Amino acid sequence: MNQMTRDQMEAAAPLAAVPADQKSLIEIRDLYKSFGRRHILRGINLDVIRGETLVILGGSGSGKTTLLRHLMGMLRPDEGSIAVHFADSTMRLDRASHAELDAYRDRLGVIFQGAALLNSMTVLENVGLPLVEVRRLPPQVVYEKVIVALQKVYLPAGEILHLKPAALSGGMRKRVGIARAIVQEPELILYDEPTTGLDPVTVSGVNELTLDLQKRLGVTSVVITHDIHAAFIIADRIAMLYKGRIIAIGPKDEFRAHPNPVVQQLLTGSTQGPLTEAFLQGQAT
Amino acid sequence: MSRKTTLFERMDHSTGVKAVESVGRAAMERASLGGRALLLFIDTIYQLPKTARSLPQIFRQIEICGIGSLFVLALIAFLTGMIMALQTGSELLKFGAQNNLGAIIGATFVREFGPMWAAIIMLARVGAAMAAELGTMAVNEEVDALRVMNINPVRFLVLPRMLALIVSMPLLTVIADYVGMFGGALVASYVYGSPFDQFLDSARGILGNLDFYSGLAKSMVFGAIIATIACDRGLHTTDGAEGVGRSTNQTVVASVICVLIANLMMTGFVQQILKPVFE
């Protein structure tokens, strides 16, 4: 297992075939992105199957956030394509116009690492923000939809509706962030490090909530994280991003037994291995 | 085999050339920042037709920046008016010209001190706070969250702040003008024995509509400058808390410089071009 050469460890995994009875929602092909001389994404090929929860694991600096920002439509690739196949239309994020991006984001929910709630607004205003500002719904409809969204994430709407984010615990803030993401009933949800910085009990709560939403809403989810434990709870499939490439992808059991030493080091949390060497190399350069 | 070296080759690359390089780089960076801020201003103007949707935020910002700055500005204007009157009055007294105090204090406040004090208070108090608030929002991904919700941050965050400053600045300037003159009139009356009426007549004698309205126009331009710089620095903040501090600092420094440059240009325009036409 440890006899792999560096090139073999860093080589992109073959594109996993989408099962015949399923369809891919997102198709990423040969995605490259550099910032100056730093090559962040170096040929990403990935399919996200409709209705699945795909967890993308990776260490610091592996390109996770850059990939996520491409999926949010906030970055354009230097090369390659990102196609999103909704039931009624296909969008190419790599060359989308402003109007197309707006249409895409109407069907997208994003859960940010720190929840990204607006501190000057109450929970009601935060969760209802896209309904008021984008859909311009009347206040009573917004109020009802916010209550429903808060109930879906098991928050006591009556108690927290008029509180500001600073008055909430970390776990509650995260749940409010999730409520804001699902209030527009998105078809695709992107999670950016959903469990980072939370205590173990809250982490379990967020994991259960993610699974629960997946079952009840049937949305497609892409989760970017380095939390191995959470990944094995919530994922249908797990992919590993390393030095800008997907080096391993597959269902949980398959991923757990992957022969690549990089994957094994991440799974075991060992301080000895290629991930540590790559990190030290990065520090030295 | 030794060859003669040119002067350029003998130059110490660690000092002279590097100094020129760093000056050039700094100039390019400043120009780039200025260009970016200008684009933000144009983008904000482009959002003006959507003002009605931002009315609640505009009123909230007016409350924060306008009403919140009122007391500080009035105090500073009052004290400045009194100090100016004390300083100028003692000199005028030597020539028995203390009855002209109103003209001097009035002209100084209406033309310069009113808009300038309003700008300085606004950039120090409100501009810095705006940069810090938007900077914190940027590093906490709140601005990204707005974008992915299809909410334009320029319309939602910048437009209300800019309009609030443009509306508040002339009001604050008028208050600074009157409170400053009142402070001067108090000193003129109680220290130099020049009555209130005399002070006001003297001020009215020198001040025209052009002075008053050009002061207000200046203050609106200062408001636009402060809001543009603060919002631009805030929205482009990176590197966490350190970045927020840097953006706040840059906002204050850049605003002071830009407001002074704008003041010089507008004063030149009013005095050299408009005044001969209107008077």
Interface of B with A in 242-271 (CB under 8 A): none
Residue B19 lies in a domain: no
- Its CATH architecture, for the domain A7-107+186-284, is 3-Layer(aba) Sandwich (3.40)
Q: Does B63 touch chain A if contact means CB atoms closer than 8 Å?
A: no
Q: How far apart are CA B120 and CA B122, in angstroms?
A: 5
Q: Kindly report which listed range (A215-224, A269-278, B82-91, B208-217) carries the lowest average pLDDT score.
A: A269-278
Determine the structural domain holding residue B244 and report its residue range: 72-274
Q: Does A205 touch chain B if contact means CB atoms closer than 8 Å?
A: no
Answer whether A73's CB lies under 8 Å from A93's CB. Answer: yes
For A180, name the nearest residue in chain B, comparing CA atoms only.
Answer: B149
pLDDT (average), residues A196-213: 80
ipTM for the predicted complex comes to 0.86
Spell out which residues of chain A touch residue B151, defining contact as CB-CB under 8 Å: 129-130, 133-134
Q: Does A106 touch chain B if contact means CB atoms closer than 8 Å?
A: yes
pLDDT (average), residues A238-251: 90
Contact B156 A133 (CB under 8 A): yes
Residue B64 lies in a domain: no
* pLDDT of B159: 96
Spell out which residues of chain A touch residue B148, defining contact as CB-CB under 8 Å: 72-74, 105, 108, 110
* pLDDT of A258: 82
**Residue A266's pLDDT band (cuts 50, 70, 90):** confident
Q: How far apart are CA B107 and CA B158, in angstroms?
A: 34
* pLDDT of A215: 83
pLDDT (average), residues A125-148: 93
For B139, name the nearest residue in chain A, comparing CA atoms only.
Answer: A116
Q: Cite the DSSP H helix spans in B67-208.
A: 68-94, 101-108, 114-121, 128-139, 142-148, 153, 159-190, 196-206
Spell out which residues of chain A touch residue B140, defining contact as CB-CB under 8 Å: 114, 116
Q: How far apart are CA B131 and CA B244, in angstroms?
A: 8
pLDDT by 10s per residue, chain B, length 279: 556 666 666 666 667 778 888 888 888 888 888 899 999 999 999 999 999 888 988 998 888 887 878 899 999 999 999 999 999 998 888 888 888 889 999 999 999 999 999 999 999 999 999 999 999 999 999 999 999 999 999 999 999 999 999 999 999 999 999 999 999 999 999 998 888 889 999 998 888 889 899 999 999 999 999 999 999 999 999 988 999 999 999 999 999 999 999 999 999 999 899 888 876
pLDDT (average), residues A171-199: 88
Q: Is the pLDDT of residue A285 over 60?
A: no
* Strand, coil or helix: A238: strand
In A79-230, at which residue ranges do the beta strands (DSSP E only) sit? 79-85, 90-92, 108-111, 188-192, 220-225
pLDDT (average), residues A102-130: 92
Q: What angle do CA A210, A214, A219 make, to 5 degrees?
A: 120
Q: Is the pLDDT of residue A207 over 90?
A: no
Residue B200 lies in a domain: yes
Spell out which residues of chain B touch residue A110, defining contact as CB-CB under 8 Å: 145, 148
DSSP state of B156: I
More confident residue, A153 or B216: B216
Q: Is the pLDDT of residue A283 over 60?
A: no
Contact A74 B137 (CB under 8 A): no
* pLDDT of B9: 65
Spell out which residues of chain A touch residue B147, defining contact as CB-CB under 8 Å: 72, 74
Nearest one of A249, A260, A258 to A49, comparing CA atoms: A249
- How close A104 gets to chain B, by Cα (Å)? 9
Which residues, in sequence order, are bridge partners of residue A71? none
Q: How far apart are CA B226 and CA B62, in angstroms?
A: 14
Q: Does B129 touch chain A if contact means CB atoms closer than 8 Å?
A: no
Residue B25 lies in a domain: no
Q: Does B149 touch chain A if contact means CB atoms closer than 8 Å?
A: yes
**Number of continuous H segments (helices) and E segments (strands) in chain B:** 14, 0
* pLDDT of B7: 66
DSSP state of A33: E
* pLDDT of A58: 86
Q: Does A135 touch chain B if contact means CB atoms closer than 8 Å?
A: no
In chain A, at which residue ranges do the beta strands (DSSP E only) sit? 24-35, 38-49, 53-57, 79-85, 90-92, 108-111, 188-192, 220-225, 237-242, 245-251
pTM of the model: 0.84
Q: Is the pLDDT of residue A221 over 60?
A: yes
Q: Is the pLDDT of residue A1 over 50?
A: no
Q: Kindly report which listed range (A56-60, A76-80, A81-85) carries the lowest average pLDDT score.
A: A56-60
* Chain B interface mutation, best of A75, A97, A110, highest count of B Cβ atoms under 10 Å: A110
Q: What are phi and psi of A156, to 5 degrees?
A: -75, 90
Residue B182 lies in a domain: yes
Contact B141 A130 (CB under 8 A): no
The number of distinct structural domains making up chain B is 1
Contact B149 A130 (CB under 8 A): yes
- How close B91 gets to chain A, by Cα (Å)? 52
pLDDT (average), residues A121-143: 94
* Chain B interface mutation, best of A69, A118, A164, A190, highest count of B Cβ atoms under 10 Å: A118
Q: Does B145 touch chain A if contact means CB atoms closer than 8 Å?
A: yes
